[in-house]
């Protein structure tokens, strides 16, 4: 089947042809006719199957009629992260180039003033993250009563990030009669509850079993030692030894570990950029752009890069940390092996990660092959201190050497030879248990130990 059989408008078909696409993916083929028929759609498909175009293309066709009003968007698309929201906007810019549609992006890291100016002009398509969208509605600068079509994308990621309460609030702000498109890769019980609450007799479109991995991705587990420096050494060896590695995304569980690993790779001469949630929007987009263009072959990232990012030609994915949630594994390795290409996903598994790995294998229903190729690297690293430890050890020896070396100049209380001159023990109060020193009445008191300001005479007031 070709795109011309799906009911899309001539303008949209021309834009699709100009982009070089001739046949729709399964999710596009099944979902687009139902969207054009104004049906609610529940789409379940693994990452990298073309879910974004499955709602962007029919939306462009539906929006050819009508016009936007100030502060009242006609359609609303909710995305869990800034990167995904920006990527959806790129799709509208790409396929809607021949249409005069106003598309606005409401994400964090951009001033409210710029976003308000776009809302005042009227918006046909509003793409937003939940938090920033609610900020605008609470300020009174945005009305959702004119929304005709609501898209909730990457719903399972919304659940992981704690956005479900925000989604429920937003769904109550839009008209009851709107059309709703709901896309997810997995169907946890909480997501199922949301679909039953806010979708009306939806048409279910499922092109793959939930939580399945793409057949184009070769998966492998490499055992490592317990220490982080051992895992870093194994990772470097894997990157150096991979014959077909063009570029790679390296995932860590924590933002702090992203920064540490990125610094280590750069120190060892690898071209790498970092991406995590604590970075400002400008830095995040710059890092993604460098990776997309091939200026930097390695992207060290948190799970902010695991969902929906369209970087089609990623050859490798490394799980430096095994994800705590098995669903995240499916999304991470889905960054490679996209659009029919082959990809490789390698997970570095320490002894403490075996439980998480077992949960992944249970969810995906497959045993991931193990490799013992790097056992020697682990053994060597286990008996040698890490670079950080060696550095600290050298600094510690240097400080100790300085302490042991005699001083060139005598200090207070020291002799010229560098040895400290003997001093009398400090006076202790009687409460500690040592009796006070008894003096003869004629013996003058020794005040040399007192600060000078305490020895100043006090002038009595008249």
Per-residue pLDDT of 141-178, as tens digits, reads: 999 999 999 999 999 889 888 999 999 999 999 999 99
Residue 421 above 70 pLDDT? no
User: Higher confidence at residue 345 or residue 209?
Assistant: 345
Query: Which of the four pLDDT bands, split at 50, 70 and 90, describes residue 371?
Result: confident
The pLDDT value recorded for residue 384 is 45
Asked if the domains 3-206 and 217-384 are classified in one and the same CATH topology, the answer is: yes
The pLDDT value recorded for residue 425 is 38
User: Higher confidence at residue 210 or residue 168?
Assistant: 168
User: Higher confidence at residue 423 or residue 36?
Assistant: 36
Query: Which of the four pLDDT bands, split at 50, 70 and 90, describes residue 354?
Result: very high
Residue 43 above 90 pLDDT? yes
Distance of alpha carbon 41 from alpha carbon 31, whole angstroms: 7
pLDDT (average), residues 219-238: 94
Question: How is domain 217-384 classified at the CATH fold level?
Answer: Rossmann fold (3.40.50)
The pLDDT value recorded for residue 448 is 54
Query: Which segment of 42-56, 202-216, 328-342 scores lowest on mean pLDDT?
Result: 202-216
pLDDT (average), residues 338-356: 91
Mean pLDDT computed over every residue of the chain: 83
Sign of CA dihedral 399, 402, 404, 410: negative
Domain regions of the chain by residue span: 3-206, 217-384
Residue 104 above 50 pLDDT? yes
pLDDT (average), residues 58-64: 96
Residue 399 above 60 pLDDT? no
Residue 39 above 60 pLDDT? yes
- Tokens 């077992």 belong to 358
Percent of the residues in the chain that have a pLDDT greater than 90, as a whole number: 57
pLDDT (average), residues 66-92: 93
Residue 433 above 60 pLDDT? no
The CATH superfamily label for domain 3-206 reads: P-loop containing nucleotide triphosphate hydrolases (3.40.50.300)
Q: Could you report the per-residue pLDDT of 230-245, keeping only the tens digit for each?
A: 999 999 999 999 888 9
The pLDDT value recorded for residue 455 is 63
């Amino acid at each position: 089947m070709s795109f011309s059989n799906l009911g899309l408008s001539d303008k949209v078909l021309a834009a699709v042809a100009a982009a070089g696409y001739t046949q729709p993916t399964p999710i596009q083929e099944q979902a687009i006719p139902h969207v054009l028929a104004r049906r609610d759609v529940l789409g379940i498909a693994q990452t990298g199957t073309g879910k974004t175009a499955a709602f962007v293309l029919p939306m462009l066709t539906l929006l050819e009629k009508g016009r936007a009003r100030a502060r009242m968007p006609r359609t609303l698309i909710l995305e869990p992260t800034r990167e995904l929201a920006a990527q959806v906007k790129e799709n509208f810019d790409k396929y809607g180039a021949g249409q005069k549609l106003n598309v606005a992006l409401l994400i964090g890291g951009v001033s409210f003033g710029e976003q308000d100016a776009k809302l005042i002009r009227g918006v046909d398509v509003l793409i937003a993250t939940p938090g920033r969208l609610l900020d605008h509605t609470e300020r009174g600068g945005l009305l959702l009563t004119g929304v005709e079509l609501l898209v909730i994308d990457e719903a399972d990621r919304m659940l992981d990030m704690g956005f479900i309460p925000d989604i429920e609030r937003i769904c109550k702000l839009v008209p009851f009669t709107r059309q709703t498109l709901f896309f997810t890769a997995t169907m946890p019980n909480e997501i199922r509850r949301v679909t039953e609450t806010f979708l009306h007799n939806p048409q279910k479109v499922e092109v793959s079993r939930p939580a399945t991995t793409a057949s184009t991705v070769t998966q492998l587990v490499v055992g490592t030692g317990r220490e982080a420096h051992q895992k870093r050494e194994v990772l470097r060896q894997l990157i150096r030894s991979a014959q077909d590695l063009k570029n790679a995304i390296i995932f860590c569980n924590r933002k702090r570990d992203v920064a540490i690993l990125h610094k280590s790779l750069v120190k060892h001469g690898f071209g790498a950029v970092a991406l995590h949630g604590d970075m400002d929007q400008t830095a995040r987009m710059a890092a993604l752009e460098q990776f997309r263009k091939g200026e930097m072959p390695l992207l060290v990232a948190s799970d902010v890069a695991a969902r929906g990012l369209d970087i089609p030609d990623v050859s490798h994915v490394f799980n430096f940390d095994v994800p705590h949630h098995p669903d995240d594994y499916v999304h991470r390795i889905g960054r490679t092996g996209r659009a029919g290409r082959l990809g490789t996903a390698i997970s570095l598994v320490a002894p403490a990660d075996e439980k998480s790995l077992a949960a992944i294998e249970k969810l995906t229903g497959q045993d991931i092959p193990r490799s013992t190729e790097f056992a020697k690297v682990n053994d060597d690293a286990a008996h040698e201190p890490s670079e950080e430890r060696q550095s600290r050890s050298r600094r510690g020896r240097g400080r100790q050497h300085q302490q042991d070396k005699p001083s060139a100049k005598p200090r207070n209380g020291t002799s010229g030879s560098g040895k400290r001159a003997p001093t009398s023990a400090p006076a202790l109060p009687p409460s500690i248990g040592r009796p006070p020193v008894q003096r003869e009445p004629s013996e003058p008191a020794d005040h040399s130990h007192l600060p000078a300001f305490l020895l100043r005479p006090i002038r009595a007031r008249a």
